[in-house]
Structure 1
Amino acid sequence: MAGRLLFICQLLVRDLRRRRTETVLLLVAITAATATLTLGLTLNEIADRPYQQTRTATAGPDVIVTPRTTGQAALDELAARTTAAGVTDHSGPFPIAYLTMTAHGRSAHAVVEGRDDAPVSIDRPAVTDGTWVRPGGVVVERAFADALGIRTGDTVSIDGHPLRVTGTAVTAARATYPYAGWHYSGSVLVERGGLVWVDRSDIATLAGSQSLSYTLNLKLADPAASATYPVGDQLTTWQAIDRLNGRLYSDAQMTLLVGSWLLSGLALAGVAGIVAGRIIGQRRRVGLLKAVGAGPAMIAAIHLAEYLVIGLAAAATGLVTGWFAAPVLIRPSAGLIGSVNAQPPALRTVIAATALALTIAVAATLVPVVRAAATSTIHALADAATPPRRRRWRIWLSRRLPTALLIGVRINARRPRRARLVTVNTLITTTALVAVLIVNTQAVHFDLGYTALANPRVERGEQATLVLTVVVCVLALVNAVVSTWTAVLDARQPLAVARTLGATPGQAGVGLALAQLLPAVPGVAVGIPAGIGLVAFVSIGEVQYPPGSWLLATALGVLLAVAALTAVPAMVATRRPVVDTLRSAPT
């Protein structure tokens, strides 16, 4: 047993050294899928770290109480909250008003909170620029200020009252822009808006005839117990605020998770193509191993061990790549402080990425490996492909085809599995590109009552979409090159025979290119509706579709890319002298 394991390890190391390019391509294909999955799974795990850091730095409350009543009735209701069971400390009540702020000609909903200059024990907003509130001035929540282009020293208007911006700050007591919780007085329907602070002495003047609301910050003996509070329009827990902030990353997470499915399919097709090429080149070795006594189990173990090792290496590489890429992709909101630290992935992420890598490696290699192990010794030593099945209608049709097209059809007839991999590759690539095209046509903005501003949630989704697009294009490119290389490797003798029967090098090269282009056509044709259906399935709300000309251009672009990637190596392969090719064929 030990001798067999040593023999398998020796062959494994030898193959990895001799076929370095193929090994790197396998590693890249599987790593792309595992890295994207790692990014998607770790997004939620690390996105809340800036909020936790902000909560610590600003002495964030555990529960925020904002009664629906106003004036003295609200104060009476909040007074009983300060002595409730489990409450250890409180700050406030602070007066608030739901008004309109105008800056640089743009108006937006603003939750105006009156504060004192003296610090409090709970909810001390951290000033990031300028100074804290003073009479006649306003402090703007930093994310809100960035959205409106407000800087310290600017003058803004709140319900017609001009105020000078004395600074910007962040807090953990309310969700960052645009989820500050603006609503009309007495209404439970929350609208989007931003948060500002003013001196307590100014808020009555700013509110005018509007009755003031109030908010109270509570600290509990057990902060985790706040999760059991009945969250509603009057009570908000710090966990609920954390979830609201996390919504800014939901589109990016969905993009990466769906992208990992598509990349898994691309990786599966790419690995299967590479494995097919490797096994074609190793047919004679399979015959030699069988001739010296190796059984089917030994042959399968030799091949599978190599791909399992590559799969494990790709899983580790993907985890590390996703680990380091996550802090770059996940930029904290301007309304939070702190940073996204690269911490080791969670155990479930490690297990998921490893399982994905091994599944791709085994699923793509199992069928060709089993076929190679079951091949007879004589057939393996002969290194000959299984002849295509003869059908009268096929023979009748082939007589009427141009020479180049006939060569392409015959190549695919000899290796139908490889043709199906080309179809899968173009199908997934077209699906991903169409989905990205549709996502980029969505003009989504936040309506802040009077002004439509850019949606920060969509901006993060676009960043993830860009990453996914680049990875899909690179992986599809690798797959196309590998598929062409496998076809050239397998068709060198049939093409040489075709040339001896009168086919020109140009016809042989075009035929080899057509062998890749023909199965790509149905993949592109199905990929367009598949991309549209994918976006419709994962989207919430109405989907805006791009013009038909854009979809047609995408389809033609994919087919032109396939033709360009296959034509050059195909033409180069047919320049080899026929005599040299036939002389190298097994006899």
Structure 2
Amino acid sequence: MAGRLLLVCRLLLRDVRRRRTETVLLVIAISAATGTLTLGLALNDALAGPYERTRAVTAGPDVVATPTATGQQALAALAPLATAPGVTAHSGPYPMAYLMLTARGKTVQAVVQGRDDSPAALDRPAVTAGTWVRPGGVVVEPTFANALGVRTGDTVEINGHPLRVVGTAVTAARAVYPSADWRIDSGSPLVQLAGLVWVDSSEISLLADGRPLSYTLNLRLADPHASTSFRHRSTAGIEYTSWVQIAETDGRLVRQAHKALLIGSWLLTILAVAGVAGIVAGRAVEQRRRVGLLKAVGSGPAMVAAVHLAEYLVIGLAAAGTGLAVGWFAAPALTNPGAGLLGSTGVQPPPLRTVVTVTALALAIAAAATLGPVVRAATTDTVHALNDAATPPRRRRWRVRLSRRMPAALLIGVRVNARRPRRARLVMLNTLITTTALAALLMGLAQDRTVKLGESELANPRDTRTLQAMLLVIVVVCVLALVNAVVTTWSAILDNRHPLAVARALGATPAQVTVGMAVAQTLPAVPGVALGIPAGIVLYVLASNPGIRYAPNAWWFAVALAVLLTIAALTAIPAMLAARRPVADTLRSTPT
């Protein structure tokens, strides 16, 4: 047993040293899928984790009470709540006004809350830039500030009154932009299309130009679970908003991005399986003689399978660690900027469930991609393995009659695919996944990513973050698809050196051989493109909210043409280089 294990380890190390480029490509292919899955799992924590940290740092309330009345009636309605049974702490009431804010030529709705420097028992907004409120200054919630494009030191107008932006701050007592509750006028229902700002309490009446002010009261309950009964309801002229509702609203900023990353991880998993299968298939062809030698010296099918499978499982473990590290530490890029929350994902070590899930995915990809070649290697006849012969094409009379009418280049391409049908299927799968992802991205680009706040429109951070996640997935998909295409192309050219040399000896020109290899790769890509575009549209429709827009038809044509031309170019360039080699040298160096 120890001797067999030592043999497996020696062969594993020998293969890794001899085929370093292929090993690196395998690690990249599997790491791409595991890294994207890690991002998706990390965003699971981003849905609640940052809000919990923000609530702890800013002493967030359990329930926020806002009366529908204004002025003294509002204060009278809130007064009994501070001493109500079950209430252990409160802060406020704080005056509020629903006004229009103008910045950089855009006028939008803003919830203006009056505060002072005195420390509050509940809801102490944490300043993230600049300072806290002071006379003549305004503090803006960070997500709202990013959408407006304002920074500390800029000047904005609230209801026509100029104020200097003195800082930005986050709070857990109100949802971030664009979901800060706003009223059209006193007594009207809340609408969730506004941003939040703070001003000095002494100036809010002046900013409101004599309008009656609204008020808000923050409550802390003795029973934390009791706050879950306050989702967003109105009782006796007072609207209650629970911290649970606020957390869910803030979580929408990354929920769609989270869905996009999880869907992208599954697409990348399929693409990684196809890429690993292509690399493994090429290596399996090179290792046929070794399979024959192992069987000739007495190795059984189990030993042959162990030799092949061990290498890819070890590579899968290495790729799992790489993808886990890259994905986890890249997660803050999708959760921190403009989120209006404190803390970040990826600073702490990933949880055990994430490590187990990502490792299982990497091993599953390695096993799924290598199972077929390993089984074939274990069951291959010893003499057949030593001969190292390609699968002969199945001859049919109708195919022979059809081939007589084909141009030489098309005939070469069809014959190459007939000799290696599995490779052709991998090309189709690679093209299908790539086109599906590109079609989904085009659907995302066709959507309106703005939100209307009164007179102007601002960027919607939820849609912006979703598009960022989709772009990240697309970049990884395109890189992985490019790697797969390059590996498949070189494998096809190296595997068909002898048949192509024979074709040239029978009269085919180098140009015909080059076009024939391009045709061999492009033919299976055509159904992949044809199926990928509608698949991407359906995938986006199923994962999105109603009321979506469809991309123009010209975009679909451009994507299909770009994918097919890219595949043809990737094949034609190395085929031209191979066609420059003299036929005699190729026939002399390639075994028949």
* TM-score computed with the length of structure 1 as normaliser: 0.93
Tell me the residue number matched to 2:252. 247
**Residues 508, 198 of structure 1: CA spacing in aligned structure 2 closer, same or farther, 3 A cutoff?**
closer
1:303 aligns with 2:308: yes
Tell me the residue number matched to 1:92. 92
Q: 2:461 aligns with which of 456, 461, 476?
A: 456
Tell me the residue number matched to 2:318. 313
Alignment of 1:66-145 (within 5 A): 66-128=66-128, 132-133=132-133, 138-145=138-145
Tell me the residue number matched to 1:260. 265
Query: SS of 2:571's equivalent?
Result: helix
**Residues 506, 204 of structure 1: CA spacing in aligned structure 2 closer, same or farther, 3 A cutoff?**
closer
Task: Note the alpha carbon deviations across 1:9-44, whole angstroms, 9 max, x for none.
Answer: 221111111111111111111100110110111013
Alpha-carbon separation, structure 2, partners of 1:258 and 1:502: 49
Query: SS of 2:179's equivalent?
Result: coil
Query: SS of 2:93's equivalent?
Result: strand
Tell me the residue number matched to 1:392. 397
Q: Contact 1:126–1:171 at 8 Å: present in 2 too?
A: yes
Deviation at 1:340, TM superposition (A): 4.7
Task: Note the alpha carbon deviations across 1:56-111, whole angstroms, 9 max, x for none.
Answer: 44332232122334444543443333234443211112232323333444322222
Alpha-carbon separation, structure 2, partners of 1:342 and 1:133: 31
Query: SS of 1:294's equivalent?
Result: coil
Alpha-carbon separation, structure 2, partners of 1:7 and 1:272: 24
Alignment of 1:183-582 (within 5 A): 183-184=183-184, 185-204=186-205, 206-207=207-208, 211-221=212-222, 223=224, 226-233=227-234, 234-333=239-338, 335-582=340-587
Tell me the residue number matched to 2:25. 25
Amino acid at match of 1:331: N
Alpha-carbon separation, structure 2, partners of 1:277 and 1:406: 23
Deviation at 1:229, TM superposition (A): 4.1
Q: Contact 1:86–1:220 at 8 Å: present in 2 too?
A: yes
Deviation at 1:149, TM superposition (A): 4.1
**Residues 464, 393 of structure 1: CA spacing in aligned structure 2 closer, same or farther, 3 A cutoff?**
same
Alpha-carbon separation, structure 1, partners of 2:305 and 2:154: 73
Alignment of 1:139-154 (within 5 A): 139-150=139-150
Deviation at 1:124, TM superposition (A): 2.3
Deviation at 1:431, TM superposition (A): 1.4
Alpha-carbon separation, structure 1, partners of 2:52 and 2:167: 23
**Residues 167, 355 of structure 1: CA spacing in aligned structure 2 closer, same or farther, 3 A cutoff?**
closer
Query: SS of 1:333's equivalent?
Result: coil
Deviation at 1:117, TM superposition (A): 4.3
Deviation at 1:383, TM superposition (A): 0.6
Alpha-carbon separation, structure 1, partners of 2:520 and 2:161: 73
* Stretch of structure 1 that moved more, 11-20 or 28-37: 11-20
Tell me the residue number matched to 2:38. 38
Give unmatched runs, 5+ long, in structure 1: none
Amino acid at match of 2:29: A
Query: SS of 2:331's equivalent?
Result: helix
| Number of equivalent positions | 587
Query: SS of 2:68's equivalent?
Result: coil
Amino acid at match of 1:218: L
Alpha-carbon separation, structure 1, partners of 2:386 and 2:42: 49
Deviation at 1:347, TM superposition (A): 2.2
Deviation at 1:354, TM superposition (A): 1.6
**Residues 408, 149 of structure 1: CA spacing in aligned structure 2 closer, same or farther, 3 A cutoff?**
closer
Deviation at 1:153, TM superposition (A): 6.1
Task: Note the alpha carbon deviations across 1:417-473, whole angstroms, 9 max, x for none.
Answer: 110110111111111112212212223211112211111222222322222222111
Alpha-carbon separation, structure 2, partners of 1:518 and 1:291: 40
Alpha-carbon separation, structure 2, partners of 1:573 and 1:136: 74
Alpha-carbon separation, structure 2, partners of 1:501 and 1:162: 85
Tell me the residue number matched to 2:4. 4
Deviation at 1:146, TM superposition (A): 3.8
Alpha-carbon separation, structure 2, partners of 1:561 and 1:259: 22
Amino acid at match of 1:177: Y
Alpha-carbon separation, structure 2, partners of 1:515 and 1:153: 62
Alpha-carbon separation, structure 2, partners of 1:236 and 1:477: 50
Query: SS of 1:196's equivalent?
Result: strand
Amino acid at match of 1:171: T
Task: Note the alpha carbon deviations across 1:355-397, whole angstroms, 9 max, x for none.
Answer: 2212211111111221121111111111111211111000001
**Residues 299, 339 of structure 1: CA spacing in aligned structure 2 closer, same or farther, 3 A cutoff?**
closer
Deviation at 1:235, TM superposition (A): 2.1
Task: Note the alpha carbon deviations across 1:263-295, whole angstroms, 9 max, x for none.
Answer: 112111111111110000011111111111111
* Stretch of structure 1 that moved more, 344-353 or 231-240: 231-240
Alpha-carbon separation, structure 2, partners of 1:580 and 1:511: 21
Amino acid at match of 1:403: A
Query: SS of 1:532's equivalent?
Result: helix
Amino acid at match of 1:3: G
Alpha-carbon separation, structure 1, partners of 2:104 and 2:576: 62
Q: Contact 1:284–1:383 at 8 Å: present in 2 too?
A: yes
Task: Note the alpha carbon deviations across 1:107-157, whole angstroms, 9 max, x for none.
Answer: 222222233443322222344556544566544334334433445666654
Amino acid at match of 2:554: S
Q: Contact 2:45–2:345 at 8 Å: present in 1 too?
A: no
**Residues 156, 576 of structure 1: CA spacing in aligned structure 2 closer, same or farther, 3 A cutoff?**
closer
**Residues 193, 382 of structure 1: CA spacing in aligned structure 2 closer, same or farther, 3 A cutoff?**
same
* Stretch of structure 1 that moved more, 63-72 or 551-560: 63-72
Amino acid at match of 2:233: G
**Residues 327, 159 of structure 1: CA spacing in aligned structure 2 closer, same or farther, 3 A cutoff?**
closer
Query: SS of 2:99's equivalent?
Result: strand
Deviation at 1:232, TM superposition (A): 2.8
Alpha-carbon separation, structure 1, partners of 2:568 and 2:152: 57
* Stretch of structure 1 that moved more, 445-454 or 137-146: 137-146
Q: Contact 1:50–1:332 at 8 Å: present in 2 too?
A: no
**Residues 312, 97 of structure 1: CA spacing in aligned structure 2 closer, same or farther, 3 A cutoff?**
same
Deviation at 1:223, TM superposition (A): 4.6
**Residues 385, 455 of structure 1: CA spacing in aligned structure 2 closer, same or farther, 3 A cutoff?**
same
Alpha-carbon separation, structure 2, partners of 1:342 and 1:166: 29
**Residues 570, 104 of structure 1: CA spacing in aligned structure 2 closer, same or farther, 3 A cutoff?**
closer
Q: What is the RMSD computed on CA atoms of the aligned residues?
A: 2.5
* Stretch of structure 1 that moved more, 252-261 or 497-506: 497-506
